[in-house]
Amino acid sequence: MSAVTGNFLELLAENGRLNKLDVVTGHFFNMMAAFRGEVVCEVTSAKALDAATLKEVTAALSGFLQKGQSLKISTKVDPSIVGGLVVVLGDRYIDMSLASKIERYTTLLKQPV
C-alpha cells in the first residue's frame, strides 16, 4: 500500500468514516472508468437476460455512446419490477418497468375527476 493510500485510510478512520470506504472506492472506480472512456451501465430486469436479449440491449445502448467510449454493462435481476427494464447509463436513469407503469396508472385512476 502506498503512503498516500495509508494516509487516506487513516484520515477516514480518524473521522469515523471508515464504514464509507465501499462508497469511496465505488466512486473511484467510476471515475477511472470515465477516464478510460468506459460508460458504466447497469441493466435491471425481472428475469435473467439470455445472450440474445443482452446483445440486443447492448446494441441499443451503444447508440447513446460518443466516439471513443465503450460500454461496461452489468446486469441485475429484481422480480419486483414485474417486467421490462430499468437502465442506469452513466448519469441517465431510464425506467421502462411494468411496476412503474402500473403505479403511474393507479395514481391517475385514483385522482378525482
pLDDT tens-digit series, residues 69-86: 999 999 999 999 999 999
Question: Where does the pLDDT of residue 90 fall: very low under 50, low under 70, confident under 90, or very high at 90 and above?
Answer: confident
Same-domain pairing of 88 and 108: yes
Same-domain pairing of 26 and 47: no
Q: How many domains does the chain have?
A: 2
Same-domain pairing of 28 and 53: no
In degrees, rounded to 5, the angle at the alpha carbon of residue 106 between the alpha carbons of residues 105 and 111 is 95
CA-closest candidate to residue 71, choices 85, 90, 44: 90
Helix (H, G, I), strand (E, B) or coil at 68: coil
CA-closest candidate to residue 98, choices 89, 86, 111, 107: 86
C-alpha cell recorded at residue 105: 396508472
Q: Which domain holds residue 85?
A: 37-113
pLDDT in tens, 20-39: 999 999 999 888 988 999 99
- Per the CB < 8 A criterion, the answer to whether 76 and 42 are in contact is yes
Same-domain pairing of 55 and 3: no
